[in-house]
């Protein structure tokens, strides 16, 4: 990975803002772009992985997202935050790839699910025993699977809103949906996830 030398902080002690880095990229500073990649690499990977459901596709979508961002950054007009714009690219790149793949596994939200009241796994704990770590791994796999099985329209909302922690307004801008539409899809998605994770959470 490259060094960050040449990146001066705007205010001593404070990291340079995304917007400032974007301005520098637009002025031809490529190290500024590398810094943006370092900041968002994991978050973008999480979007592509959650939407695509496998490492190979997620890896390629990760590359496509940043290469596309680099190509179009000169035209970025600061009408939204950089990350909203970047996440929109990541979402679009992933969904295009998903549709091209054409083998999307979609499970009906009305399909019967096991109904159990057992609480076999607890919420994450920082000091985990091996058993807890195993349970945590199982839970993560179960969540991955549950998200993967959601219909696309619900999956993208829950990935951005609940797994990436964006606000309803940010999700509405990324997906070009109204806020009520985001809330409505999120509502359905959460109820479906809750059913799929029953017995694990």
Partner 1 sequence: MGRRKRDKTKIEEGCDCTELETLAVQFVDGELEDEQRQRLLIHIQTCYRCARLVRSLKRTVHYCHLETGPEVPETAHRQLWQRLQEVLKSTKQKKSR
Site residues (CB under 8 A) for partner 1?
A: 1-2, 28, 30, 33-34, 37, 41-42, 45-46, 49-50, 55, 58-59, 62-63, 66-67, 70, 117, 123-124, 139-140, 143, 158, 162-163, 165, 186-187, 190-191, 193-194, 197-198, 201
Specify the residue for token string 């009241």.
Answer: 117
CB of 41 to partner 1, least distance (A): 6
- 8 Å CB contact between 48 and 93: yes
Residue closer to partner 1, measured from CB, 45 or 81? 45
Residue closer to partner 1, measured from CB, 79 or 179? 179
CA distances from 162 to 154, 167, 182 (A): 11, 9, 12
Residue closer to partner 1, measured from CB, 17 or 167? 167
Residue closer to partner 1, measured from CB, 12 or 165? 165
CB of 151 to partner 1, least distance (A): 17
CB of 13 to partner 1, least distance (A): 27
Q: Could you give the dihedral angle defined by the CA atoms of residues 124, 186, 154 and 118, in that order, rounded to the nearest 10 degrees?
A: 40
CA distances from 51 to 9, 37, 135, 148 (A): 35, 20, 23, 7
CA distance linking residue 38 with residue 15, whole number of Å: 13
What tokens appear for 41 in the block? 């690499």
Residue closer to partner 1, measured from CB, 98 or 193? 193
CB of 11 to partner 1, least distance (A): 27
CB of 162 to partner 1, least distance (A): 4
Q: Cα 168–170–176 angle (5° rounding)?
A: 95
């Amino acid at each position: 990975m490259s060094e960050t030398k040449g990146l001066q902080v705007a205010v001593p002690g404070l990291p340079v803002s995304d917007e400032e880095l974007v301005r520098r990229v637009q002025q031809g500073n490529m190290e500024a772009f590398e810094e943006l990649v370092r900041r968002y690499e994991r978050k973008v990977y999480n979007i592509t992985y959650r939407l695509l459901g496998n490492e190979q596709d997620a890896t390629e979508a990760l590359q496509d997202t940043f290469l596309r961002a680099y190509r179009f950054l000169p035209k970025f007009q600061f009408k939204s935050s950089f990350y909203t714009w970047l996440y929109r690219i990541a979402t679009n790149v992933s969904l295009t790839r998903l549709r091209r793949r054409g083998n999307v596994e979609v499970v009906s939200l009305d399909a019967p699910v096991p109904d159990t009241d057992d609480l076999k796994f607890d919420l994450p704990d920082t000091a985990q025993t091996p058993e807890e770590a195993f349970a945590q791994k199982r839970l993560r796999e179960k969540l991955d699977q549950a998200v993967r099985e959601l219909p696309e329209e619900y999956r993208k909302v829950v990935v951005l809103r609940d797994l990436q922690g964006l606000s309803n307004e940010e999700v509405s801008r990324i997906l070009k949906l109204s806020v009520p539409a985001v809330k409505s899809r999120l509502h359905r998605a959460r109820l479906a996830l809750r059913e799929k994770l029953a017995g694990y959470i």
